Structure 1
Amino acid sequence: MAKTKSRHRARSTVAILDHRILVRRGLTGIVADSGTHEVLFEAGSAAELFAILQERSDRGQPLPEVIILDILMPEVDSLEVLTQLGERFPECAPFVITDSAEPTHMRLAFEHGARAYALRDLSATAIVTALEALKIHRHFVGPVMVSHLIRAFVTGGQQDPLSMLTEREQDVLRLAALQFGNREIAERLSISEHTVKTHLRHATEKLGVKTRHEAVSLAIQSGMALKPRLVPRLDESSHDSDGPSTPTTNSGIR
């Protein structure tokens, strides 16, 4: 009996942030079925998450010990969300569950405050194991990501820096190298200007440079700006195929 009571006292409280309601409900079911953890609330956006956390804090209500979220959320800088959680609600341990198997994404997530990182195909049992690890202030990395991490470690130093960028980050950087502004890049890729800025910031971080100009210079040196993989046009008939190939002089991402 004593052991059962101890187990009950070890119950973790969880909040789930995801813009997809089916994902939230699925994770809520897994946590509830564990019998040792409970979901305090769900949030469909970062703004909603912070509003609920602030309200609970103002009312003296307990905050969730773990916040499950994705690092690839639309229209939001997920790394900034992790940073803000660490600064405003350090008692909440961020647990990233995502579709991204990029080792660089995992590294950036941990650098910005994540305590656990796993792919979305993580089993229910493994999710519970991760929650238990977080409960005793340990980090957790999903088994598939461990393999990616080892592979990246072994081949580190031999990898082309630009290969660390996601396809979308490469698309944005390629257009920036062709001297398109943020607004035109956004229109050509059918994304928001905010998302363009986010992709450029992530690209500069991954490339180990500090400015947009430096990132663009690397892209040009690698020949990325000359590659035709994706230089989308709003109107193929009204745009000449040739464009400037010198780096922009803008030193900021915004």
Structure 2
Amino acid sequence: MTSPTAREHAAIRVLLADDHPVVRRGLAELLGTLTGVEVVGQAGTGHEALREVALHRPDVVVMDLRMPVLDGVEATRRIVRDHPATAVLVLTMFDEDTLIAEALRAGARGYLLKTAEQEELERAIRAVAAGDAIFSSSVAGRVLKQVAAARDVSVLPHLSPREREVLDLMATGATNGAIAQRLNLSPKTVGNHISAIFLKLGVSTRGEAIVIAKDAGLGRRE
């Protein structure tokens, strides 16, 4: 069995999904220079991305949105649904509001433009692998507006069924470890779900999320 210390020092396993071989090759070479980051696979279509994720179980998928056969948004949605321990970081040329919103709803943990500097890409990969959410400065403002608009309508319907379960247990005061045990998930997966909940609710602390959950009737036990 792998010890906690070994897991903490294991390399971040990254899968690259982009329909341009030159882009994938460049990214692979760039990431190959980073300490503690390992490229474990590449994909040129959304379907290939799904197959490679199932095969390699990466920590992070760097995902383009405009790909043939199955686009990056739908591929992201399926990866998040079927492999919740894998975080998706969007890396695209497009900063359209509609695409940003679709990627967020699909469960992307971050959204960067391909014009991002190497340091920004490295920071984003390490952040999403740790369960955080990160966005390039050029789209961050629009992300906040998307979240605010969602909150004005109704926040909880934007949560996945699993995220609602996690939020419900959070509202009872359960710790991440207790939630992981109750739902038969790894602590890392619980952390990823909580980061996604924070993003979708537009909050930054556990206390704020719990207040919203209780207002929505979650966390109640007989």
TM range (shorter): 0.5 to 0.7
User: For 1:138, what is the secondary structure of its paired residue?
Assistant: coil
Identity of paired residues, percent? Answer: 24
- Once the two structures are superposed, the pairs formed by residues 41-120 of structure 1 within 5 Å of their partners are 41-56=41-56, 63-120=57-114
Match of 2:37 in 1: 37
CA-based RMSD: 2.7
2-structure distance, mates of 1:26, 1:98: 14
2-structure distance, mates of 1:28, 1:122: 15
Give unmatched runs, 5+ long, in structure 2. Answer: 149-222
Match of 1:25 in 2: 25
Match of 2:11 in 1: 11
User: For 1:52, what is the secondary structure of its paired residue?
Assistant: helix
Q: How far 1:83 sits from its partner (Å)?
A: 1.3
- What is the aligned counterpart of 2:116 among 110, 113, 122? 122
User: For 2:66, what is the secondary structure of its paired residue?
Assistant: coil
User: For 2:24, what is the secondary structure of its paired residue?
Assistant: helix
2-structure distance, mates of 1:84, 1:126: 26
91 and 119 in structure 1: CA distance in 2 versus 1, 3 angstrom threshold: same
Kindly provide the amino acid, as one letter, of the partner of residue 31 in structure 1.
L
| 1:73-114 C-alpha deviation (Å, 9 max, x unpaired) | 234233221111012111111110011111221121011110
2-structure distance, mates of 1:47, 1:96: 16
21 and 148 in structure 1: CA distance in 2 versus 1, 3 angstrom threshold: same
| 1:4-26 C-alpha deviation (Å, 9 max, x unpaired) | x99x8153110001111011011
User: For 1:133, what is the secondary structure of its paired residue?
Assistant: helix
2-structure distance, mates of 1:107, 1:20: 24
| 1:159-186 C-alpha deviation (Å, 9 max, x unpaired) | xxxxxxxxxxxxxxxxxxxxxxxxxxxx
| 1:217-251 C-alpha deviation (Å, 9 max, x unpaired) | xxxxxxxxxxxxxxxxxxxxxxxxxxxxxxxxxxx
135 and 55 in structure 1: CA distance in 2 versus 1, 3 angstrom threshold: closer
Kindly provide the amino acid, as one letter, of the partner of residue 30 in structure 1.
L
- Once the two structures are superposed, the pairs formed by residues 58-207 of structure 1 within 5 Å of their partners are 63-149=57-143
Q: How far 1:150 sits from its partner (Å)?
A: 6.2
Q: How far 1:55 sits from its partner (Å)?
A: 3.6
Match of 1:210 in 2: none
Q: How far 1:139 sits from its partner (Å)?
A: 0.3
Computing the radius of gyration from Cα coordinates, the structure with the larger value is 1
2-structure distance, mates of 1:122, 1:41: 22
